[in-house]
Amino acid sequence: MAHVPGSKRPPPRARHSAPVPPTAHHSPRVRSRKIITKDGRPLLLRAIRASDVAALQRGFNRLTPDEVRSRFLHPITGLSDEYALHLCDVDADYAVVLVLIDPEGTPEQEIRAVARAHIDPATLSAEFALIVQKQFSGQGLGDLLMRRLIAECRKHGAVELWGDVLVDNGAMLELCEFLGFTRHSQAHDDPGLMRVTIAI
């Protein structure tokens, strides 16, 4: 859906009081949940872990070039161990990263979908990104992840969720519209991107 969150943000919104960044004491924990897809496949919805590097790499290797472009906004041919660890080992006080992963004990366990948000402690505005493997598309998993991501960001104290979406990524734009996001003009004067935002 978008590049790795945290690289840029929209202008801060006016507030009546100064935002209070999340603290380690109050950082919420994401509860794991078992789900069954519409076509009968079991998955586990949980927070990403530093130990998920190999599962993330296997999931990435299954993505098509178009899926990679939709997620990262530019071509990437693979995830190095260092970059994969960067994506997996996150600061839980300022980031929410949810995965749909094969159940424990599955040989060659893969991450099938990822939703992540990085919360700016100065503005409490969170940038999000989402990817679902094509073989799992059309089953409502993007909707499930985005609703859970919004809820978890709210628990962290975020007041807004935003992202930049490729204008030709109709499925993601439709999902955002369904969830109540507002579309804005081109992101950063890039005619290929659309900024979407929602107050949470």
Low-confidence ranges of the chain (pLDDT < 50): 1-4, 6-27
Residue 22: predicted pLDDT:
45
The neighbouring-strand residues paired with 44 are: 34, 101
Q: Of 94, 102, 126, 117, whose CA–CA distance to 46 is shortest?
A: 102
Q: 95: which 2 tokens?
A: 């980031």
Quick check: 73 and 193 in contact, CB under 8 A?
A: yes
Residue 52 CA to residue 108 CA, distance in Å, equals 11
Give this prediction's pTM. 0.81
pLDDT at 57: 95
Residue 40 has a pLDDT of 94
pLDDT score at 13: 40
For residue 26, the model assigns a pLDDT of 45
Predicted pLDDT of residue 51: 95
Model pLDDT, residue 142: 95
Q: What is the pLDDT of residue 54?
A: 96
- Beta carbons of 118 and 5 less than 8 angstroms apart: yes
pLDDT value for 186: 63
Q: What is the pLDDT of residue 43?
A: 97
At residue 125, φ and ψ (nearest 5 deg) are -100, 130
Tokens found for residue 138 = 């059309």
What confidence tens digit (pLDDT) does each residue in 129-155 have? 999 999 898 999 999 999 999 999 999
Say what the pLDDT of residue 35 is. Answer: 95
Report the pLDDT value the prediction gives residue 28, as an integer from 0 to 100: 59
